[in-house]
Amino acid sequence: MIEIKRADSLEDTYTAFTKGFSDYMIPMQLTYEEFVERIMRRDHNELEHSFLAYDGKEPVGIWLNGLKEIDGERVLRCGGLAVAPEYRKARIAQRLFDRQKEHASKHGFDILFLEVIIGNDRALAFYEKNGYTINREIRYYSRPRRTASSSLEEVSWSAYSSVELSEKPIWQRDAQAMHHIEPSFYRGGDGAAAVKNGQILEARAQEGGIIQLLDEVCSLPYETFHFHTTDTDLQRSLVQAGWTESNIRQYEMKRQV
């Protein structure tokens, strides 16, 4: 008999996550330490807002959640929905959703939020059936290092954050995530960028200045650079500027509680 319970064991949460994502379209074979650091800490997921499905004592499904306040609203974001392959015809995902919806209503959340890979049609249909709508699309890009020298200056978080945002950050790259990731911050001209090991976590510049800023960033001492954006105009400009678009795209989706 399948039971849905509040997640109270990090070990069981890891087990359910590993089983559920064992055949995922993107490899998710994480060690326990990587799971704790990347999925729980960096992505700000919390056991107290998450749920597991058990078959007896065996965790076989997970709806992982994290809480943030965004634009004055309490947002509960799904950091991972997964069911072990052999249990996927038992309506466990629906029961997990119903439980987290009940939890969100009881504890005064305003928005349910998640990302889904475009092309994962089964998941997209499930979310749409349960009232989620597409908010915006995230696209990912990469390019090799430029050989020119960079004129960017490394600065503090306060100097970096004084530059106005160019687009609303995604969940994994907002100010709270930045403080955990601890990137280096750079300024040049009217723009600023946050970079960690070639990952351009965020780029801030006045309209029309992002491409020039990114060119400067790509002269920093990393072999390859990666960048994401939800700005449709910038997405076109990146390809024209020599960035290669990944075949992985995501939708942000949300629904009112």
What pLDDT sits at residue 87? 96
What pLDDT sits at residue 45? 97
Residues in the chain, pLDDT under 70 = none
What pLDDT sits at residue 27? 85
What pLDDT sits at residue 59? 98
Domain ranges in the chain are: 2-109, 139-249
What pLDDT sits at residue 149? 84
Name the one residue in this structure whose structure tokens are 């993107």.
26
CATH number of 139-249: 3.40.630
What homologous superfamily does CATH list for 2-109?
Gcn5-related N-acetyltransferase (GNAT) (3.40.630.30)
Residue 231 CB coordination number (10 Å): 15
Confirm if 212 and 205 have CB atoms less than 8 A apart.
Answer: yes
What pLDDT sits at residue 147? 84
Domains 2-109 and 139-249 share a fold: yes
